[in-house]
């Protein structure tokens, strides 16, 4: 179950957290530091799709922020492509719950924005942006502005903007959370097709266990705060995945039940009592 996620630094890994702790010190008042993460260790090989699941407030998003270099660990090591992360990591793509599209730029110019920052020539970045826009069914909306697009369309644009940047590692923090159930499943299917084109390493935070199973190679369950890795599960369902009928796959129910038992124990407090 834990194959591919064991301790021990490997220069061929895409990313690693080694014995990471993260504490937040409240500002403006005397209070004990709030420990968000405790002794978190895991690694991902190139091309793996890993989901982090656990109760709210367990530090899943903090893990992403550490890898993106938006914050520093209180102890331990955060490693990307064999190098320790000491500042903002511009080599990693990051997709948040918000689409973060620039309202003054058309969808086409939003999708090509990361390539523009990288210095990709205009004609080349336009062609790549149009290719990704077409892949998610948005051809014909290139000149529309974010306020003229639906929530699902903006989310598609935000995802392909990051994937077009061609980062080796992509962090995704509940990217489909605000969407309705039907749109979520459609975007899950589109995400897997996009991911399969180049197989970046993906670290995906979600509260949806079905979504985690449908997308992932591995799933890490986290304890309640302070967040610790409770278990690592390998998802043995064959690829390519049919996300629309994932419930019917052999082994789905057993994995779902095991994940839910982990999460339920943390929510009810049984996981801390054990």
- Whether 136 and 194 have beta carbons less than 8 Å apart is answered as yes
- Residue 117 belongs to what H/E stretch? helix 113-117
CA distance 58 to 229: 10
Longest dimension (CA), the chain: 60
CA distance 183 to 186: 5
For residue 145, is the peptide bond before it cis, meaning its omega torsion is within 30 degrees of 0? no
Q: Identify the segments of the chain with pLDDT beneath 70.
A: 1-11, 28-29, 270-274
H helices present in 118-251, as ranges: 122-135, 151-164, 181-198, 209-215
Concatenating the DSSP letter of every residue in 15-48 gives: EEEEEEEEEEPPSSS----EEEEEEEEEEE-TT-
- Whether 60 and 52 have beta carbons less than 8 Å apart is answered as yes
What is the per-residue pLDDT for 9?
55
What is the per-residue pLDDT for 96?
85
CA distance 210 to 257: 11
Concatenating the DSSP letter of every residue in 240-263 gives: S--GGGGGGSTTHHHHHHHHHHHH
Instruction: Supply the pTM of this predicted model.
Output: 0.88
Give every strand in the sheet of 34-44, ordered side by side: 34-44, 15-24, 75-80, 83-84
| CA-CA-CA-CA torsion sign (239, 152, 204, 82) | positive
**Which DSSP symbol is given to 199?**
-
What is the per-residue pLDDT for 274?
42
Encode 238-268: b = buried (16+ Cβ within 10 Å), e = exposed: eeebebeebeebeebeebbeebeebbebbee
Residue spans in the chain of domains classed CATH 3.40.50.300: 1-91+170-180+200-274
What is the per-residue pLDDT for 105?
94
CA distance 222 to 207: 11
CATH 3.40.50.300 fits 1-91+170-180+200-274, yes or no: yes
CA distance 161 to 245: 28
């Amino acid at each position: 179950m834990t194959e591919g996620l064991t301790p021990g630094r490997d220069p061929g890994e895409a990313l690693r957290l080694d014995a990471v702790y993260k504490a937040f010190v409240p500002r403006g008042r005397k209070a004990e530091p709030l420990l968000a993460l405790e002794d978190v260790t895991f690694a991902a090989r190139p091309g793996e799709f890993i989901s982090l699941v656990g109760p709210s407030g367990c530090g899943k998003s903090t893990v992403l922020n550490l890898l993106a270099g938006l914050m520093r660990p209180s102890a331990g090591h955060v490693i990307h492509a064999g190098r320790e992360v000491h500042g903002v990591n511009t080599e990693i793509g990051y997709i948040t719950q918000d689409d973060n599209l620039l309202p003054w730029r058309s969808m086409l110019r939003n999708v090509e924005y990361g390539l523009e920052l990288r210095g990709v020539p205009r004609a080349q970045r336009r062609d790549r942006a149009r290719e990704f826009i077409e892949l998610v069914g948005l051809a014909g909306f290139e000149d529309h502005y974010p306020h003229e697009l639906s929530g699902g369309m903006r989310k598609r644009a935000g995802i392909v903007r990051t994937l077009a940047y061609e980062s080796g590692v992509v962090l995704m923090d509940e990217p489909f959370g605000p969407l309705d159930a039907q749109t979520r499943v459609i975007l899950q299917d589109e995400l897997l097709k996009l991911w399969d084109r180049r197989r970046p390493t993906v670290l995906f935070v979600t509260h949806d266990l079905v979504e985690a199973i449908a997308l992932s190679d591995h799933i890490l369950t986290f304890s309640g705060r302070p967040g610790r890795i409770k278990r690592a599960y390998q998802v043995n369902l064959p690829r390519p995945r049919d996300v629309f009928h994932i419930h019917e796959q052999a082994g789905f129910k057993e994995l779902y039940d095991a994940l839910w038992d982990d999460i339920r124990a943390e929510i009810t407090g049984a996981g801390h009592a054990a």
